[in-house]
């Protein structure tokens, strides 16, 4: 019990330390609160890295005019508490990437009702009856770009052939990506999905699960020309399984999201990995920039009084050796 009490006191002290600085702000200081998931895998690690990077840049550029507080949470309940804490110190703007949409929706609505302008990044809320900005990547476009590139490569390398596919999790954005991907693949009748038409397995956006799934596919199918696994973390596991198998039948692997590791492979001319499609964690910085622009009067705050959210879509980009260097961030954790 003493240990638990000490942990709580330490946590409270740490949070209070962050927020005490906010309470010292003058009335003219605009305060942006940023609530994001903890770094539990590569992409969210990138979210945390970009949020902290942009916070430092904003405070350096607008010191005395804008303050940014970034809080992370390892689950929906702790993220709700984090938002409540941000609200208690009087933030003007809330930029949030919800752990899960449903449990976080009520607290965002509460913040909105308290006059806080809300920018929701990546995952929309379950309540679309009030005014906020929903800023997210282009999931259908992600799938379409991936499918077009993969079909073109397979036709060029083997005039079609066999492909196996992996998704992330059974959530709407995953289906949007895969629907876009298969719409392009299905245009080429000589490409055979070994799992059956438009079918795929879930790799949980996990390197380990990607490795395990690929080991299974390699044991099931004697010839695999290409693999689409939708995520660069998953791709690392897929490649490990393929290389450890000693096989040489596959010529094309495509993940997605645009990790630093895979971008470097493309720049270095890896023969198996020649492209990725962006769904970049830098989008949290885009959400913070949106709040900053509203604070500086460069964007309208009218969205706050609307009866429905407005949507801002960040287009996905196909990265190949021709343009990948323009997107590579050497210091990024993802």
The pLDDT tens digits of the residues spanning 231-251 come to 999 999 999 999 999 999 999
pLDDT exceeds cutoff 50 at 15: no
The pLDDT tens digits of the residues spanning 29-53 come to 999 999 999 988 788 899 999 999 9
The pLDDT tens digits of the residues spanning 140-197 come to 999 999 999 999 999 999 999 999 999 998 877 889 999 999 999 999 999 999 999 9
pTM to 2 decimals? 0.78
Q: What is the mean pLDDT of the chain?
A: 91
Lowest mean pLDDT across 30-44, 212-226, 262-276: 30-44
Q: What is the pLDDT of residue 27?
A: 63
Judge contact between 165 and 178, C-beta under 8 A: yes
Judge contact between 41 and 209, C-beta under 8 A: no
User: In the chain, what percentage of residues exceed pLDDT 70?
Assistant: 92
């Amino acid at each position: 019990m003493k240990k638990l009490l000490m942990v709580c006191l330490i946590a409270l002290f740490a949070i209070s330390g962050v927020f005490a600085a906010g309470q010292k702000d003058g009335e003219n200081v605009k305060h942006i609160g940023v609530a994001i998931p903890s770094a539990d895998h590569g992409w969210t690690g990138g979210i945390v890295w970009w949020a902290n990077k942009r916070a430092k840049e904003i405070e350096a550029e607008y010191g005395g005019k804008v303050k940014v507080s970034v809080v992370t949470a390892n689950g929906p309940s702790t993220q709700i508490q984090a938002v409540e804490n941000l609200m208690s110190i009087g933030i003007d703007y809330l930029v949030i990437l919800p752990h899960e949409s449903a449990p976080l929706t009520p607290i965002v609505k509460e913040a909105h009702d308290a006059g806080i302008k809300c920018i929701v990044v990546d995952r929309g809320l379950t309540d679309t009856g009030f005014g906020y900005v929903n800023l997210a990547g282009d999931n259908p476009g992600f799938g379409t770009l991936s499918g077009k590139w993969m079909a073109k490569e397979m036709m060029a390398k083997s005039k079609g052939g066999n492909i196996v596919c992996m998704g992330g999790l059974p959530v709407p954005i995953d289906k949007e990506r895969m629907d876009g991907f298969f719409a392009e693949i299905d245009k080429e009748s000589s490409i055979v999905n070994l799992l059956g038409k438009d079918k795929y397995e879930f790799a949980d956006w996990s390197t380990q699960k990607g490795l395990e799934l690929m080991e299974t596919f390699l044991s099931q199918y004697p010839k695999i020309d290409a693999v689409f696994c939708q995520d660069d973390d998953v791709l690392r596991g897929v490649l490990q399984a393929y290389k450890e198998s000693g096989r040489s039948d596959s010529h094309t692997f495509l993940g997605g999201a645009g990790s630093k590791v895979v971008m470097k492979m493309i720049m270095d001319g890896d023969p198996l990995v020649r492209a990725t499609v962006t769904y970049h964690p830098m989008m949290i910085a885009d959400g913070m920039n949106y709040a900053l622009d509203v604070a500086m009067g460069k964007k309208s705050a009218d969205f706050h009084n609307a009866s429905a959210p407005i949507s801002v879509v960040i287009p996905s980009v196909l990265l190949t050796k021709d343009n990948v260097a323009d997107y590579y961030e050497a210091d990024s954790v993802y």
